[in-house]
Structure 1
Amino acid sequence: MKLPKPIALLLASLGLIASTTGLAAEAGSSLRGKQVTIVHGYMASPQDHWFPWLKAKLEAEGAEVDVLSLPDSAHARADAWLGYLQANIRQPDANHYFVAHSLGCISLLRYLGGLPTQTRIGGFVLVSGFADSLSLLPQLDEFTAQPLDYRKLISIAPRRVAIASRDDGIVPYRQTAALSRSLKAPLLSVAHGGHFLGSEGHTQLPVVYDQLLSMILH
């Protein structure tokens, strides 16, 4: 039986419906008119990890979804990635949401920081993000060489969430936690998520879907 949306929301808040994922199934085309852009990370592509699954889930709810294919992912360059984002994302607005993973997070934040000050987007979800040099990957230092304008980013994106795993072997948990504090974004901790890679079994990532859905519907 399909519940009216207000009743479904009330029951969800009381714990009588399991999660926002269940609510989405009731809501049908709840994301119609929303745009979601997914930004992958280092040595990745739109076909990797949990990106195809997330795209399909969001499109089933009526959203328009792009998983960008950043250039030369195995030899990533900060200027090339920023230029690609600038060329391939139309001017975002309050109906536009972003999901980024790993190196895609700092790249997305650089892009958002370069938008006009009056810009307002719907929000973003950052998975294993970082804003400081990674000891294991010094070749990526150019991405973090310049400080971010956190005040501007907070203004542009009123809804912000960071997700980190305590056993991430590539981006230390403390670095994602530091980024979340700088962005004044809630941090969701996962005990054993690794770096949220497909090779670690993460071909689906419900926590991202749930957080994004909650962000959009509320």
Structure 2
Amino acid sequence: MSGNTRKNVFIIHGTGGHPKENWFPWLKEQLEPMGCKVIIPQFPTPENQTPETWFKVLDRYRGEYTPETILVAHSLGSAFALRILENYSVRIKAAFLVSAPIGVRPIKNWDGDQPFIGKPFDWEVIRTRAGKFVVFHSEDDPMVGIGNGIELAKNLGAEFVRLPNAGHFNAKAGYTKFELLLEKIKELV
């Protein structure tokens, strides 16, 4: 399969995150046998955590960012995914945004998230940069209030998956696998 037609799935971690946490390795193991190339960059965090330093890391993979790309992002990684969609002019296949902080309080890491969420998002541009958006948020997320998910889904015209007891969709909340996310991605690969 040529590089232009193969589905590339980028998984973007959040604050303090890394490629081996939560459901990321499991999702990679599920998608690779389906022919997906799964890329999970390590971004600087929490030190030097800015959109600029994260773009420097992501730019190494610019050739892999194609119309067949699927973005999967967790927590602050979802806010960064929105900045990617603002800045990279490629229209991708889909974006799956999990527990995204977009500036609606409460957000536990409000100050640390400001470099990513402090300026308004260009929703008009972002909406044109992916064929499909799916937003996941839990009603009991202790890190990012559900108002963020509600507002994000509204701003994107996205499918909104609201779950009652998923916490922050991380290992602490029991999320070392994420079957529902996988099912949604499988619809596109």
TM-score by length of 2: 0.90
Q: Is the 8 A contact 1:42 1:74 kept in 2?
A: yes
Q: Mind listing any 5+ residue stretches in structure 2 that lack a counterpart?
A: none
Does residue 74 (structure 1) correspond to residue 17 (structure 2)? The answer is no
In the alignment, what sits opposite 2:94? 123
In the alignment, what sits opposite 1:18? none
Does residue 162 (structure 1) correspond to residue 110 (structure 2)? The answer is no
Q: Which moved more, 1:125-134 or 1:190-199?
A: 125-134
Note the alpha carbon deviations across 1:54-104, whole angstroms, 9 max, x for none: 000000211111111112x22322321133223333262221111000000
Distance in 2 between the 1:177 and 1:135 partners? 14
Note the alpha carbon deviations across 1:109-160, whole angstroms, 9 max, x for none: 11121123xx211011000012116542122212111111111111110211
Distance in 2 between the 1:113 and 1:155 partners? 9
Q: Is the 8 A contact 1:85 1:111 kept in 2?
A: no
Distance in 2 between the 1:174 and 1:135 partners? 10
Give 2:166's match in structure 1, choosing from 165, 178, 193: 193
Distance in 1 between the 2:80 and 2:95 partners? 13
- C-alpha spacing 1:168/1:204, structure 2 compared with 1 (3 Å): same
Percent identity of equivalent pairs: 27
Q: Mind listing any 5+ residue stretches in structure 1 that lack a counterpart?
A: 1-31
Alignment-mate amino acid for residue 93 of structure 2? G
Q: Following TM superposition, where does structure 1 have runs of at least 4 consecutive aligned residues deviating by more than 4 angstroms?
A: none
Does residue 39 (structure 1) correspond to residue 12 (structure 2)? The answer is yes
- Where do residues 85-104 of structure 1 align in structure 2 (5 Å cutoff)? 85-90=58-63, 92-104=65-77
- C-alpha spacing 1:91/1:115, structure 2 compared with 1 (3 Å): farther
Give 1:48's match in structure 2, choosing from 3, 21, 38: 21
Q: Is the 8 A contact 2:51 2:80 kept in 1?
A: yes
Q: Secondary structure at the match of 1:82?
A: helix
In the alignment, what sits opposite 2:108? 136
Q: Is the 8 A contact 1:86 1:111 kept in 2?
A: no
- Between the two proteins, the alignment pairs up a number of residues equal to 182
Q: Secondary structure at the match of 1:89?
A: helix
Question: What CA RMSD, in Å, does the superposition of the two structures yield over aligned residues?
Answer: 1.6
Does residue 179 (structure 1) correspond to residue 152 (structure 2)? The answer is yes
Q: Is the 8 A contact 1:42 1:103 kept in 2?
A: yes
Q: Is the 8 A contact 1:38 1:65 kept in 2?
A: yes
Distance in 1 between the 2:46 and 2:128 partners? 33
Distance in 2 between the 1:136 and 1:37 partners? 25
Distance in 2 between the 1:185 and 1:139 partners? 26
- C-alpha spacing 1:50/1:135, structure 2 compared with 1 (3 Å): closer
